[in-house]
């Protein structure tokens, strides 16, 4: 197991080096990301949307998460890998949450688990897991498994009572023993305030630049998710058009007989 304290050090802010995180769901991308030097791979339940084509993350199962996590581990054997616990794999009871986290760790070979929320039951689960040797990354702000409660993907923490709740949740998650927290869709000023109030590293997505690191969904990052253009997203490749152009070239060359040529034939 990789040393969590080296990548996610506790202590005075800001951290010495910003932490880079990308989601990953398969062997090929995992190999590319490891060789490119990404600090941490998140096998996110976002795979339900961007990989499976589901409308939300809610249908994803624990076994599906483990399946993808095993592929990612094979592709990135030396990179820190975190795996999401999916909807209803940890909320029903403390015992079920412990079993789900343990199953993911045992079967996938990952380094840590992540789950959403900061209520009393979640804090108790973090506390228990930390003490049996399972590192936990927290997640507050927009928590996609609660999308039906929030009424969609909306910025969290605008109202004063919501700000106070998020600050309290972050401190509770840190005190319970988590090694890091993801902030999703939180105003940048609030994310900065919360990040400075907790000793553990914070990872932002749609939370501004003041967090200790950033995470993006790989298909969004590569411009493969056509039409998805939230304000927080920067695409680093025009992936959809590039892949589409390559496919069209393949179709044309097969149909006109230029592929395969002599150099591709035995």
Which residues carry out catalysis? 184
Give first-to-last CA distance, the chain, whole Å. Answer: 45
Which is nearest to 41 in space by CA: 53, 26, 63? 26
The answer for residues whose C-beta is within 8 angstroms of residue 72's C-beta and 6 or more apart is 24, 25, 26, 27, 30, 41, 43, 81
What region, left, alpha or beta, does residue 247 occupy, with left being phi > 0 and alpha being psi -120 to 50 degrees? alpha
Task: Please name the helix (run of DSSP H) or strand (run of DSSP E) that holds residue 112, with its range, or none.
Answer: strand 112-114
| DSSP annotation string for 191-255 | HHHHHHHSSS-EEEESS-S-SSEEEE-HHHHTT-STT---TT---SS-HHHHHHHHHHHHHHHHH
Which is nearest to 107 in space by CA: 64, 78, 141? 64
The answer for residues whose C-beta is within 8 angstroms of residue 23's C-beta and 6 or more apart is 41, 42, 43, 44, 46, 47, 215, 216, 217, 218
SS3 8: coil
């Amino acid at each position: 197991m990789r040393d969590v304290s080296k990548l996610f050090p506790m202590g005075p802010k800001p951290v010495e080096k910003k932490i880079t995180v990308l989601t990953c769901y398969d062997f090929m991308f995992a190999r590319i990301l490891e060789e490119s030097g990404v600090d941490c791979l998140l096998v996110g339940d976002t795979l339900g949307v961007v990989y499976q084509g589901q409308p939300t993350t809610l249908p994803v199962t624990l076994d599906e998460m483990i399946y993808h996590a095993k592929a990612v581990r094979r592709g990135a054997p030396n990179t820190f890998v975190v795996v999401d616990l999916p909807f209803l794999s940890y909320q029903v009871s403390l015992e079920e949450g412990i079993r789900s986290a343990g199953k993911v760790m045992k079967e996938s070979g990952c380094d840590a688990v992540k789950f959403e929320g900061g209520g009393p039951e979640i804090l108790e689960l973090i506390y228990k897991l930390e003490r049996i040797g399972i590192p936990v990354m927290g997640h507050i702000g927009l928590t996609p498994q609660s999308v039906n409660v929030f009424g969609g993907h909306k910025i969290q923490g605008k109202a004063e009572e919501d700000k106070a709740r998020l600050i309290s949740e972050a401190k509770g998650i840190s005190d319970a023993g988590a090694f890091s927290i993801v902030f999703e869709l939180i105003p940048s000023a609030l994310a900065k305030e919360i990040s400075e109030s907790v000793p553990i590293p914070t990872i932002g997505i749609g939370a501004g630049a003041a967090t200790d690191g950033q995470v993006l969904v790989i298909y969004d990052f590569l411009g493969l998710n056509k039409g998805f253009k939230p304000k927080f997203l920067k695409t680093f490749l025009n992936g959809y058009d590039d892949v589409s152009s390559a496919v069209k070239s393949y179709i044309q060359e097969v149909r006109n007989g230029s592929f395969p040529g002599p150099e591709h034939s035995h």
